[in-house]
């Protein structure tokens, strides 16, 4: 790989690697500006999707159905496994992923339509299966909030994973869902070091803000847990016990973790980030990752892709399990109910009664 490019303010990636599906590549030209260079702006595009619920049949994913109001994510995490999905849209997995965001403005209407169908089998809906449903643009568009309201209207259970404290904006909806055993919220937190967190995830909430979000949900009796993701050996794995302890003190009731995954072009984007910000740790991180992935940087085998294999994977698993039990956290979220699912009458039918 070539020498790492200069860091861009507020961004995880520094370049736009070639799209593996496209025959041409447009490269960004360096301006020569340094600290006074304007931050790259984010562009939002209309997503004309005609459906909103996605399905998967992976045996190591705890849900079959998910809703993603946005494609791409402005949080800018260099390691995000979702980056390669942007290539299907004709974009790059690099800067394009965090600066060109697809917005599904009709998300709530599509969700209502699909839940109303007799084909829908009431089940847990995950938000989101790919990108964060509370990335910054949610404050403007409110698509996640609108989808939550639809799920509440239908009494359909939902599990949310986010790293942005903006989720606390919707506490009243979560409270209503929780009173009917219809939701749990998982907060992604992989470091208590504010500086490291800012560099890993440049456009989302601080560790302090995420712990405060956990406390806010717990105070409303909304089941809330912690996801340490990703665990990066040689960078943040030593923080596992402290993160779990802090999460429990904030009000979390369950915890899980995921090891770093580097599918396709993500590996180059991630290691470019490491070279720019933590060059002395680069070799240790790569060596340990290969130890966890049978000599490779990524393995997609079900059952191994999230936890790795071998002695070092076992050490991380044991550290997590011992720390989780010591903190008094459950191994997973509570079961949710589909018993109260309903299909509300449309306004037209109500007028005809």
From residue 317, give the alpha-carbon distance in Å to each of 120, 195, 241, 268, 353: 37, 26, 12, 26, 58
The pair of three-digit structure tokens given for residue 261, joined into one six-digit string:
């995954």
Considering the domain 43-348, what is its CATH architecture? Alpha-Beta Horseshoe (3.80)
- Whole-number pLDDT of residue 1: 47
- Whole-number pLDDT of residue 129: 82
Mean pLDDT by 10 residues, the chain (353 residues): 62 73 52 50 94 93 95 95 91 93 97 97 94 96 98 98 98 98 98 96 96 98 98 97 98 97 93 96 95 89 87 96 98 97 70 39
End-to-end CA distance of the chain: 68
Phi first, then psi, for residue 101 (nearest 5°) are: -105, 130
Cα angle vertex 338, ends 118, 156, to 5°?
A: 70
- Contact at 8 Å (CB) between 334 and 225? no
CA neighbours within 13 Å on the CB side: how many for 41? 2
SS3 226: strand
- Whole-number pLDDT of residue 18: 73
- Whole-number pLDDT of residue 298: 87
- Contact at 8 Å (CB) between 184 and 225? yes
d(CA 340, CA 181): 9
Which is it for strands 224-231 and 254-259: parallel, antiparallel or unpaired?
parallel
- Domain ranges for the chain, please list them: 43-348
- Contact at 8 Å (CB) between 71 and 102? yes
pTM: 0.90
Q: What is the pLDDT of residues 255-268, one digit of tens each?
A: 999 999 999 889 99
Of the candidates 297, 269, 277, the one whose C-alpha atom is nearest the C-alpha of residue 78 is 269
Alpha helices in the chain, H assignment, sequence order: 95-99, 107-116, 138-141, 143-154, 171-179, 194-200, 207-219, 240-250, 266-277, 282-292, 311-327, 347-352
């Amino acid at each position: 790989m070539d020498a790492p490019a200069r860091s861009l303010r507020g961004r995880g990636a520094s370049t736009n690697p070639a799209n593996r599906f496209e025959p041409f590549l447009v490269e960004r030209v360096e301006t020569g500006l340094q600290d006074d260079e304007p931050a790259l702006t984010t562009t939002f595009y209309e997503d004309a999707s005609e459906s909103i619920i996605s399905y998967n049949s992976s045996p190591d994913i705890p849900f079959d159905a998910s809703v993603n109001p946005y494609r791409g994510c402005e949080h800018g995490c260099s390691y995000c496994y979702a980056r390669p999905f942007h290539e299907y849209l004709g974009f790059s997995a690099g800067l394009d992923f965090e600066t060109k965001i697809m917005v599904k403005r009709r998300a709530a209407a599509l969700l209502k339509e699909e839940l109303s169908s007799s084909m829908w089998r009431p089940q847990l809906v995950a938000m989101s299966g790919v990108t964060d449903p509370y990335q910054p643009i949610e404050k403007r568009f409110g698509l996640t909030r609108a989808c939550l309201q639809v799920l509440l209207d239908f009494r359909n259970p939902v599990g949310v994973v986010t790293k942005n404290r903006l989720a606390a904006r919707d506490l009243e909806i979560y409270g209503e869902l929780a009173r009917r055993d219809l939701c749990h919220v998982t907060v992604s937190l992989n470091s208590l070091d504010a500086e490291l967190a800012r560099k890993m995830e440049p456009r989302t909430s601080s560790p302090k803000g995420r712990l405060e979000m956990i406390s806010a949900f717990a105070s409303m009796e909304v089941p809330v847990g912690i996801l340490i993701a990703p665990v990066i050996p040689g960078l943040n794995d030593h923080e596992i016990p402290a993160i779990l302890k802090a999460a429990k003190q904030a009000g979390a009731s369950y915890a899980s973790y995921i090891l770093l995954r580097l599918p396709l072009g993500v590996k180059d984007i991630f290691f470019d980030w490491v070279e720019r910000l933590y060059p002395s740790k680069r070799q240790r991180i790569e060596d340990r990752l290969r130890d966890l992935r049978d000599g490779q940087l990524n393995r997609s085998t079900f059952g191994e892709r999230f936890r790795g294999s071998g002695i070092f994977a076992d050490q991380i698993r044991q550290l997590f399990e011992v720390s989780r039990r010591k903190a008094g956290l459950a191994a997973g979220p509570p079961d949710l109910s589909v018993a109260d699912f309903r299909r509300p009458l449309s306004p037209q039918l109500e007028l005809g009664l």
